[in-house]
Structure 1
Amino acid sequence: MTYGTFMSTVRERGEYAADEAERIVEAVIETLGERLPDTSAEHLADQLPTRLADIVDRSEGPARTWGVEEFIHRVAEHAEEDEASAEEHTRVVLSVLADQITGGEMNKLISQLPSGYADLFGHGELT
């Protein structure tokens, strides 16, 4: 999937305007990059279009240990949205991301995150 295809899929699923989709994707992907350990972020980045890979990889310091609620709160801050909207945006972006990566990478990603994250990716059955 190219960056353009990723963005058009997000726009379609979330019914966003182009500029809104870019802001939301960046907020969610950046927050995910902050949450993941460096090696996990690198493996994820390897499967993403370069522009998204750069966003995942740009976080510095140790991985955060946020649960789902704190993750959503951070997305809301990055996107300058309320938390209900941020949760909806997160579900849209992460479901498109889940479609982008291999099943093995998806399983590794979910296994490194606390319960509840799988549902955000649209894979509640992996919880």
Structure 2
Amino acid sequence: MTISWEDFLARVVERGEYRGEAEADHAARVVLGLLGEHLVGAERLALADALPGTYASLLRDAQPAAEPLTAERFVEAVVGWIDGATPATAQWDIGAVLSTVADLVPGELIDQVIEQLPDGYDLLFGHPLPA
């Protein structure tokens, strides 16, 4: 069963210690939109299916990126989309959103998603891979 938009956003607000839903929603839209550009195939669709409507659409409808971003460049891309963001605050935003996602979907799916991405995304999801 998919979590509701309100429940998803409440978790992101709490985890990211945001001042309100609008700030958390913007972070979630930026992070999930960028993530969607770097996922393909069944994993992208399965992850989208686990998220509430608007966020699912961001994953499903994202145009594939020309080349994958390293985890560091992903953080830099988020900085570019959030006014006043720094690499540290962008990493915080990414962690709030992606760790919420990781808590809501089966661990096997998160592992499959992380396997598609360059090294370092496991930490962004708060789901470190074994050494």
Superposed displacement of residue 53, structure 1: 0.4
List runs of 5+ in structure 1 lacking aligned partners: none
The partner residue of 1:103 within 104, 107, 111 is 107
Identity %: 33
Whether 2:61 is the aligned partner of 1:53: answer no
List runs of 5+ in structure 2 lacking aligned partners: none
Task: Please show how residues 66-77 of structure 1 align to structure 2 within 5 Å.
Answer: 66-77=69-80
SS state at 1:7 partner: helix
The partner residue of 1:65 within 64, 68, 78 is 68
Superposed displacement of residue 126, structure 1: 4.5
Q: Which has the higher contact order (CA 8 A, sep 6+)?
A: 2
Superposed displacement of residue 52, structure 1: 0.9
Match in the other structure for 2:123: 119
Distance (whole Å) between structure 1 residues aligned to residue 77 and residue 69 of structure 2: 9
Superposed displacement of residue 57, structure 1: 1.5
CA RMSD of aligned residues (A): 1.6
TM-score normalised per structure 2: 0.88
Superposed displacement of residue 36, structure 1: 1.3
- The aligned length equals 127
SS state at 1:104 partner: helix
Would you identify which runs of 4 or more consecutive aligned residues in structure 1 move more than 3 Å? 61-64
Distance (whole Å) between structure 2 residues aligned to residue 82 and residue 57 of structure 1: 28
